[in-house]
Amino acid sequence: MTKFEKLDETSATPAALPLIEKSKAAFGRLPGLHAVMARAPALLDGYQVLHRLFAEETSFDADEKTVVWQTINVYHQCHYCVPAHTGIAKAMKVDDAITDALRDETPLPTQKLEALRTFTLAMAESRGNPTDAQLEAFYAEGYGEQQVLEIVLGLAQKVMSNYTNHLAETPVDAPMQKFAWTPKAQR
């Protein structure tokens, strides 16, 4: 059962209305997460900004963005975001082998993507305090300080969505239900 009421054009505050319209324009519908976040327009606005920045202005390609997003979603066991980003990965033409490995917590197809997942997970687990060895291993795969900081951006975005979904128990949107996910430990 959803703990937080979802808002729409008829129930949102004036501050949330343009944000709802922006979400609908971007997704062709109002995602449930955005309908919950609309209760706090500043949260929805911040989330939209961080999503745009991570999706459009980082140095990561589609595969790498998917690795960062899904590593964090799986780590946080977000029942909503793992299916949502599975659909997003398909739309971005990310190979299913990458998405499946992230969802199932199995090795990724390339050493570089695996290094990205390992370092993203280290950042989440250490709350931004990776060891020198973890940084060196990440750098050895061709990544640098820019990508470390872009992971911080991805973490900030995903904390907003993952935590909101945990609090609200946001139901998975109908178009993403075919990508439903159960954490490995609960299978």
Taking the domains of the chain in order of start, what are their residue ranges? 60-179
The span from the CA of 15 to the CA of 55, in Å, is 24
CATH (residue range 60-179) = 1.20.1290.10
Q: What is the residue-level pLDDT of the chain in tens, covering all 187 positions?
A: 558 999 999 999 999 999 999 999 999 999 999 999 999 999 999 999 999 999 999 999 999 999 999 999 999 999 999 999 999 999 999 999 999 999 999 999 999 999 999 999 999 999 999 999 999 999 999 999 999 999 999 999 999 999 999 999 999 999 999 999 999 989 8
Give, in order, the Cα–Cα distances in Å from 22 to each of 27, 37, 69. 9, 13, 21
The span from the CA of 164 to the CA of 183, in Å, is 18
Please count the other Cβ atoms lying within 10 Å of the Cβ belonging to residue 120.
Answer: 25
This prediction's pTM: 0.96
The whole-number pLDDT of residue 106 equals: 98
Report DSSP letters for 135-176, one per residue.
HHHHHHTT--HHHHHHHHHHHHHHHHHHHHHHHHTPPPPGGG
The whole-number pLDDT of residue 120 equals: 99
The whole-number pLDDT of residue 2 equals: 59
The span from the CA of 180 to the CA of 82, in Å, is 8
Q: Under a CB-based contact definition with an 8 Å cutoff, are residues 19 and 47 in contact?
A: no
The whole-number pLDDT of residue 64 equals: 99
